[in-house]
Structure 1
Amino acid sequence: MKTPFPPGPRMPAAAQTILFQRRRAQFLPAMARRYGDVFSLRVPPYADRLVVFSRPEHIKEIFAAGPQDLHAGEGNQILGVVMGEHSLLLTDEDEHARARRLLMPAFSGASIRGYQDVVAGIAAKEVGSWEAGAEVTTLDRMNALTLEVIMQVVFGVGDDVTRARLAPRLHQIVNLNPLVFVGAAMPRLRRFGPWKRFQDNKREVDTLLYSEIADRRRAPDLAERSDVLSRLLHVGAGDDDDPPLSDAELRDQLVTLLLAGHETTASALSWALYELAANPEIQRHAAEAALGGEDKQLEAVMKEAMRLHTVIASTARKLTQDLTIGGWQLPAGTVVNTSILLAHRSGENYPDTAQFRPSRFLEGEVAPNTWLPFGGGVRRCIGAGFSVMEGTTVLREILTRYRLSLPEAARSERGRVRNITNVPAGKARIVVTPR
């Protein structure tokens, strides 16, 4: 048995936090090369002691552990300044299980299929506005598209007045500098500069959301509406075990769905479009699939984009008691980190790890616990199916209309951290020409 903690860097905790937040794509692989498959970091306010795992057998142990032993909600508390205390991502055990039961019907297979036409219509309107032969800044356009999807499918906002008031406020929450995000958890900073502006905007968003929730409760057509908010207003009625969601719980779940399902999908789509433009042969196969209505090929493109350009770097769980993971006896209070980034970059998991090759997802090459963009276990992202459907639908609308190419003298696209997501630093610009 190995004790006490795995090895890790001796640099100051503040330096580790900055590198972990702003330069994780370089920092984490460097730590893995130096210290091995399991290593420790000190990254307050995320965790005073973080142990990073990336091997599939270790990740399997973590995902299979009982929810009473590993608290993902406690491991994600840094997100509370935005998402709120009732967020599905921040609760544990019975509270988390209840929230998940109430949310699940809105993201069932049947529900997702019901949303597909709305997503297709939004995508068609967006893509139809592109100028033939023009350069498209895909990150900006995909952010606008996925925000509109959230507004209509999740929030159920259809009128222009409410959309005009809410959309820019939501955009500010999503487009948050990582240092502002970290500092927002520190009360002393909330009176100053960007942290004060963040708090002011958050209050405005809350006012608008609570007003929308109140209006929706009174809507005469509530029973006929199919958006997620309207569905959530029905769940739990008359159920003593799972009482209905309160307004505060609804607010927190809506913001969680915004942050978990907006920029993550937008980033994955922009990376996918960039890679398709850079790989004409793969694009040709994807376009044939789009024209023939074959979703599996388009799903594979999305999945490979999320592997090669990991959007969310990791998941976190806090030990409620001493526990042995990967041969390391870790004390209660330790936060264990399943590094999605390192798992996706592992040469053992993916021998041609730097190559964009969607076919690996069609040929049975991807082993369990090696592709992790939606986490795993009882905490697997509730919107995973919706995200894949949305990405596939948007790709189909684009590829049936346009051929994609990179602008002349385009540089290789690199990632940067915005909020907590990895986005293309150059916004993944492409050129579109009609088919």
Structure 2
Amino acid sequence: MSETTQTALPPGPRLPMLAQSALMLRHGLDYFTACQRRYGDIFTLRQPLLGKVVYVADPAAIKTVFVGDPRVFHSGEGHEILRGVLGDSSLFVIDEDEHRDRRRLMMPAFARDAVARQTDAMIAIAAANIAGWPVGKTFPVASKTAEIALEVILRTVVGATKPERLAALREVVPRLLYLTPWETLAVAKPKLQRWRPWRALRRRFEEVDALLYAEIADRRADPDLAERTDSLAILVRAADEDGRTMDDRELRDQLLTLILAGHETTATSLAWALERLTRHPAALAKAVQAADASAAGDPAGDEYLDAVVKETLRIRPVIFSTARVLTEPTEVGGYRLPAGTTVDVSIGLVHASADLYPDPKRFDPDRMLGASLSPTTYLPFGGGNRRCLGATFAMVETHIVLREILRRVELCTTTDPDEKQKLKHVTFVPHRGARIKVRAVRNVAAGPQGTSASGCPVAPDDTTYSSNSRSK
């Protein structure tokens, strides 16, 4: 332990836990920002279920967390409540060697070449949805981007093609993932699902399981499995060094995990991009030109669209923080934190730092053009060995869908106030659903429909902070 290391927890409000919780609920991000101003880039808050949580917004301390030994910095332990939804083998809830091995097994499904094979489907899904958007009427586009994101996952990740099964999945998946607080009780304590108030929830689980197991059975029986490009097919084919493959239960858990991780997050990123662009006419005009250029095969168009996506994720991060639970006393940011402490890397506070991003409240995609982004100062997908496995997929999907929107409809700009960041489950969404108005439908010129996969905001796949074999 260094001479400057402090054994006490970092400073923070002395208010009781309930008072702090009320302030978080009432003031949201403003409360965290006020704490940062008063206590610095490392501070302690008290939260229900979690107890004392140390929030970290200092890049040096963030690096300590991201490169730390996975045996000490547990992420799965912090997602324990999700076991009731996602299952015991979900990538979200496991740690250490089990997490490393499962992640390696799943990585090929989200490598750049695998994602590139899904772009035509993304384009077709986006085009079909956009064609039904109202003209001349203000509407919350978040509901439309949610439809697109869910359809992309069902068709490219799950690989569902049978109309009746697709329709059933579209209906039941959102009702399973967006649970009420009352239903969440039965997720934390699954035995409650035997009782009348929660039996409907159990039936939803059973319905989703039946649909996903049917897809898994179809994939296993498919004589053309080796040629299929959906993620489920790649996961069915995946084998470790000993030739072990995932069983049906493990595949089901990963499918639900991928749906949960990739649906609302991507949909919300798209909604925020449109909310930001319609309030910044110059950026919108450049983005429309970039969309047309991208569709014609001009890399400069891709570059600007990627900058729009990156800046949106900076100024409106969908996930505010990413947590680790310490399994033993550990030094972080000059403090010796006890075992059991939750350390939360604050994505939102880092992205709002004026030292890192001059005039941080200004939406400015140009700042991302040619920018060298550090994994400790730009981290919309988390970092280290727990960086989002589907980051490349999410960036490509957001890029493509945004491009198709800008190519196919003419959006009205607005002088309405910015939409507030509202917490919905674990994501921060536009509080009015990102309301936009389509002025007219644009004529879509024929041209190349591919896209670049170069828009990953930090190091691709698992190269981020791979300083030792255990963090890969």
The TM-score normalised by the length of structure 2 is 0.85
Deviation at 1:91, TM superposition (A): 1.2
State whether residues 234 and 244 of structure 1, in contact with CA within 8 Å, keep that contact through their aligned partners in structure 2. Answer: yes
Matched, 1:316 2:323: yes
Question: Residues 241-252 of structure 1: matches in 2 within 5 Å?
Answer: 241=242, 243-252=244-253
Distance 1:390 1:143 in 2: 13
Matched, 1:303 2:310: yes
User: 2:341: which partner in 1?
Assistant: 334
Q: 2:394 aligns with which of 375, 382, 387?
A: 387
Deviation at 1:156, TM superposition (A): 0.5
Secondary structure of 2:188's aligned partner: coil
Secondary structure of 1:212's aligned partner: helix
Matched, 1:9 2:9: no
One-letter identity of the residue aligned with 2:418: S
State whether residues 56 and 369 of structure 1, in contact with CA within 8 Å, keep that contact through their aligned partners in structure 2. Answer: yes
Measured at CA, do residues 310 and 240 of structure 1 come closer, stay the same or move farther in structure 2, by a change above 3 Å?
A: closer
Measured at CA, do residues 35 and 75 of structure 1 come closer, stay the same or move farther in structure 2, by a change above 3 Å?
A: same
Distance 1:193 1:303 in 2: 46
One-letter identity of the residue aligned with 1:173: L
Secondary structure of 2:265's aligned partner: helix
User: 2:226: which partner in 1?
Assistant: 223
One-letter identity of the residue aligned with 1:309: R
Deviation at 1:124, TM superposition (A): 1.1
Distance 2:123 2:425 in 1: 27
User: 1:28: which partner in 2?
Assistant: 32
Measured at CA, do residues 156 and 133 of structure 1 come closer, stay the same or move farther in structure 2, by a change above 3 Å?
A: same
User: 2:449: which partner in 1?
Assistant: none
Secondary structure of 1:162's aligned partner: helix
Deviation at 1:184, TM superposition (A): 3.6
Matched, 1:108 2:111: yes
Distance 2:162 2:104 in 1: 30
Deviation at 1:140, TM superposition (A): 0.3
What does the per-residue CA deviation read over 1:9-67, in whole Å, with 9 as the maximum and x for residues that have no partner? 3333345456557753233222223322211123232x223111011111111111121
Deviation at 1:80, TM superposition (A): 2.4
Deviation at 1:205, TM superposition (A): 1.5
Secondary structure of 1:76's aligned partner: helix
Measured at CA, do residues 318 and 234 of structure 1 come closer, stay the same or move farther in structure 2, by a change above 3 Å?
A: same
Secondary structure of 1:11's aligned partner: coil
Deviation at 1:255, TM superposition (A): 0.9
State whether residues 62 and 325 of structure 1, in contact with CA within 8 Å, keep that contact through their aligned partners in structure 2. Answer: yes
User: 2:422: which partner in 1?
Assistant: 416
State whether residues 120 and 394 of structure 1, in contact with CA within 8 Å, keep that contact through their aligned partners in structure 2. Answer: yes
Question: Residues 101-140 of structure 1: matches in 2 within 5 Å?
Answer: 101-140=104-143
User: 2:412: which partner in 1?
Assistant: 405
User: 1:428: which partner in 2?
Assistant: 434
User: 1:273: which partner in 2?
Assistant: 274
Distance 1:292 1:54 in 2: 38
Measured at CA, do residues 13 and 179 of structure 1 come closer, stay the same or move farther in structure 2, by a change above 3 Å?
A: farther
Q: Identity of counterpart residues, as a percentage? A: 43
Secondary structure of 2:223's aligned partner: coil
Deviation at 1:297, TM superposition (A): 0.9
Distance 2:373 2:228 in 1: 39
Matched, 1:159 2:193: no
User: 2:43: which partner in 1?
Assistant: 39
Deviation at 1:137, TM superposition (A): 2.1
Matched, 1:60 2:60: no
Measured at CA, do residues 3 and 193 of structure 1 come closer, stay the same or move farther in structure 2, by a change above 3 Å?
A: farther
One-letter identity of the residue aligned with 1:415: Q
The TM-score normalised by the length of structure 1 is 0.92
Distance 1:339 1:23 in 2: 16
- Structure 1, 197-206 or 49-58: larger mean CA deviation: 197-206
Distance 1:18 1:178 in 2: 16
State whether residues 84 and 190 of structure 2, in contact with CA within 8 Å, keep that contact through their aligned partners in structure 1. Answer: no
Q: 1:84 aligns with which of 67, 87, 95?
A: 87
- Structure 1, 422-431 or 129-138: larger mean CA deviation: 129-138
One-letter identity of the residue aligned with 1:4: A
Deviation at 1:394, TM superposition (A): 0.6
Deviation at 1:157, TM superposition (A): 0.6
User: Structure 1: any 5+ residue segments left out of the alignment?
Assistant: none
Deviation at 1:308, TM superposition (A): 1.2
Deviation at 1:406, TM superposition (A): 4.5
One-letter identity of the residue aligned with 2:208: V
Measured at CA, do residues 249 and 21 of structure 1 come closer, stay the same or move farther in structure 2, by a change above 3 Å?
A: farther
Distance 2:46 2:11 in 1: 11
State whether residues 76 and 316 of structure 1, in contact with CA within 8 Å, keep that contact through their aligned partners in structure 2. Answer: no
Secondary structure of 1:354's aligned partner: coil
State whether residues 17 and 48 of structure 2, in contact with CA within 8 Å, keep that contact through their aligned partners in structure 1. Answer: yes
